[in-house]
Amino acid sequence: MNDNNEKKTVMFFPNREEYKKPLGAVKVGEPTRFNLLFSRPSNPAEVFLVLTKDGEQDVYYPMTYVTTNVNETMEYTVTVSPTTSGLYFYHFAVNTEDRQYRIGSDEDLNALLGKGCDWQLTVFEEKYADPDWLNGGLMYQIFVDRFNIGGERKKTKNDAVYRDDWGGCPEYRANRDGKILNNDFFGGNIKGITKKLAYLKSLGVTCIYMNPIFEAHSNHKYDTGNYRKIDPDFGTEDDLKELIKKADKKGMKVMLDGVFSHTGDDSIYFNKYGRYDSVGAYMSEQSAYKDWYTFESFPDKYRSWWNIDILPEVNENCPAYDEYINGEDGIIRYWTRTGIGGWRFDVADELPDRFLDRAVHAAKSVNKDALMLGEVWEDASNKVSYGARRRYLQGRQLDSVTNYPFKSDILAFCMCGDAVRLNNTVNVILNNYPERVVNNLMNLLDTHDTARLLTVLGDSGETDTREKRANAKVKNLAEAIALMKIAVTLQYTLPGVPCVYYGDEAGLEGFEDPFNRRCYPWDNKNKEILRFYKKIGAMRTNEKNILACGKYRKLAAQDGLYAFSRDNGVETLYVVANNSGSAVKFLPSGKEKDEYTDLLTLKPFDGNVPDKCAVIFKRTQDVVFPVKKPRIKK
C-alpha cells in the first residue's frame, strides 16, 4: 500500500452530506452516518470508526463495506447514535493483514492517511426551542452615549464631564491615583435611538444591541451601579419600553448587555465611596452584599476583574447573588418582561456553568424566544476556561456566541489575501457548532473593544503614541474603503448574522478605547460608505431565504481569491472576493453568462472580477457590488 498514492484518494469531509449526515453538531440520540472512501489496500480485514468522548476511552465501531466506486475507491459506512451530550472526537482505522492505517483530519477537515488530527463531533440536547427570529437578520451595536441625543439632555452626575462638542475626541484621563475615569459624556440616550429607528430600518437592521444601559458612573456602563435602574443620563424604564414598542413595529428587537461577572466599586452593592444609601460590601462585614465578593483583607484588598479595582469581581456561585440575578424576582426575569428580544452575556467565559444554566432558564421562562448570546472570543464548542471544558453550546445554555474567529480571518484575507485560512475557519465552525448556533452567530468586524474596521484596513501613518492614535486619520482612504467593502460583503454573506458597530457605515475611524467610541457623525457621514451599507443591507433583506440557513460550499480559496456559495435547496447565491493583486475570471460551472440579468442597474455579471473587489450574484439575478480598483492620489 503506497502512502503517497493513498493519501490522494482517501476521501472524507464532514461538511458534505455524502460523507457525514447530519452536518455539524448532532442531537443526543440522533442517528449519524459516516461514509469513508479510500483506495483499495491489500486484503482489508477491518475498517473502524474510532469515537472517543472527551476524557473517556476510545470506542471502535465496525464499518460495513458498501461498494467499490468507479475511481477504484472502497466505500464503508457506519451509523452511530450518541446517547449523551458532550464533545466527541473521531478518526478512522483500516486494518489489513500486516498493518493498521490511521485516517485523520488536516487543517481544512479533509482526510489524511497515516496522520492528522481527530475530527470533532459536538452532541447537544434540544432543551429549548430555536429562537429563529434573528435568522437572516442584521444586528446593530450601539454605544449609547455616542449615538444620538433625543429630547432634553440629562446631566445627573456631579463628578462627570458633560461635553457639548458632539464629535470631539473622547478623553483618556486618569485621576491622581492612576485610575482611568471614563467620565466624559456627550449626551447620547435611549430616546436618541428611538428617533433614529427609521434610519436603522433603512440599513436593514432587525436587532438593536445596546452596550450596558443600567445605572453606572462611567460612560461605558460596564461598572454597574444598580441593575434595577436605567442610568438616568440615558433615560427611564418607560423610555426603554417605548423603544422596544416602536422598534417592534418596525420589525426590530432590542438586546440588552448583561454584565454579571463584576459590578462597579461605586455601586449600591459595594458602595466604596458612600454614594448610595445602602450598606455596601465595602462598608461592613455585616452587609447583605458581603458574600457577593471575595475579600482577601477586608475592606481594601478584594478580588477584582482583571485586577482593575474599580470592578470588584462577584462570586456567581453565591446563592444570594445567583438569586438576585436569576431568581423569580431577579434581574433577568425583570428586564425580559419589558419585551426585549434577548441578552448578550459579557465575558461569558467568567460565568460558571450553573449560573449560565439558571440565567438562560430565567429568560426563557418569561419568553421562550429570548435569544441568549455569549461573548466568547474563541471556538465556543471546545473552549476551556479556568481549567474546565465549557458546555455553552450543548443545549442548556447559549443560543449562540460572538463570532471572533470569522472576524480575525476576514481581516487577514483583506490585508494579506489569506483565503485558505478563512475557508478553514469557516469549515471548522460549521463542523463544530449546532446549526441553530451557526444561524444566530454574531458576525462582527469591530466592537467597542477593538479598533475600528476602517482604521485596521487603512494606513494611519505613525501611531506609536496615544496622542498620535487619538488624532490619526486613514491616509489611503480609497483603498481602505475598497477593502472594507470586501470585508463587509463577507460578513453579510457567510453563515451567521452580521453585526454593524454603530458609525462604521458612516466612515468612523478610531484606534483602541476610547478612540473607537467617537460620536456618530450625523452631519459628516461618508456618503459612499453609507450607500454601500444600505445597498448590501437591502440585498440581505431580499435574500433572507438563502442567507438565513443556506448551506455553505467553498468554490475557491487560494492566492487571494475566495469564492463560495449559499444554497437553500431552491436558490443559490454566489460570492466572489478577489484580493489577489490582479483581475480574475469566475463563473460557476455549467452556467452561461447570458443567464444572468441585472436588477440593480449594474452591468450583467460576465465573470470578470477586478482586484480589491467583491461580487454577489445568483443564477437569475446580479445582486451587488463590483468595487472598482481605487485610484490612489499621488
Residues with a known catalytic role: 346, 375
Which residues fall within 8 angstroms of residue 619, CB to CB, at 6 or more apart? 571, 572, 588, 591, 595, 596
CA–CA gap between residue 347 and residue 260 (Å, rounded): 9
The alpha carbon of residue 49 and the mean position of all alpha carbons in its chain are separated, in whole angstroms, by: 33
Q: For residues 292 and 310, what is the distance between their CA atoms, to the nearest angstrom?
A: 15
Distance, in Å, from the CA atom of 112 to the CA atom of 12, rounded to the nearest integer, reads 9
Residues 398 and 390 sit within 8 Å (Cβ to Cβ) = no
DSSP-based helix, strand, coil % in the chain, nearest 5? 25, 25, 50
Place of cell 458612516: 506
Grid coordinates of 36: 469513508
C-alpha torsion sign, points 449, 326, 131, 20? positive
Residue type, 445: L
Residue with grid cell 451595536, as numbered in its chain: 141
Determine how β-strand 561-567 pairs with β-strand 608-609.
unpaired
52 close to 89: Cβ distance less than 8 angstroms: yes
Cβ–Cβ < 8 Å for 141, 446: no
**481, HSE (Cβ side, Cα atoms, 13 Å):** 24
Q: Which of 565, 545, 553, 571 is nearest to 135 (CA)?
A: 545
| CA gap 223, 463 in Å, rounded | 29
Joined together, the cell numbers standing for residue 425 give 475557519
Max Cα–Cα distance, the chain, nearest Å: 84
Cβ atoms 14, 119 nearer than 8 A? yes
For residue 31, the surrounding DSSP H or E stretch is none
Measured distance CA(445)–CA(447) in Å, rounded:
7
- The span from the CA of 218 to the CA of 223, in Å, is 7
- Nearest-CA neighbor of 139 among 453, 536, 447, 500? 500
Q: Classify burial at 332, counting beta carbons within 10 Å of its beta carbon; exposed 0-12, middle 13-18, buried 19 or more.
A: buried
For residue 83, give every residue at least 6 positions away whose Cβ sits within 8 Å of its Cβ, in sequence order, or none: 28, 29
Pairing of strands 621-622, 613-618: antiparallel
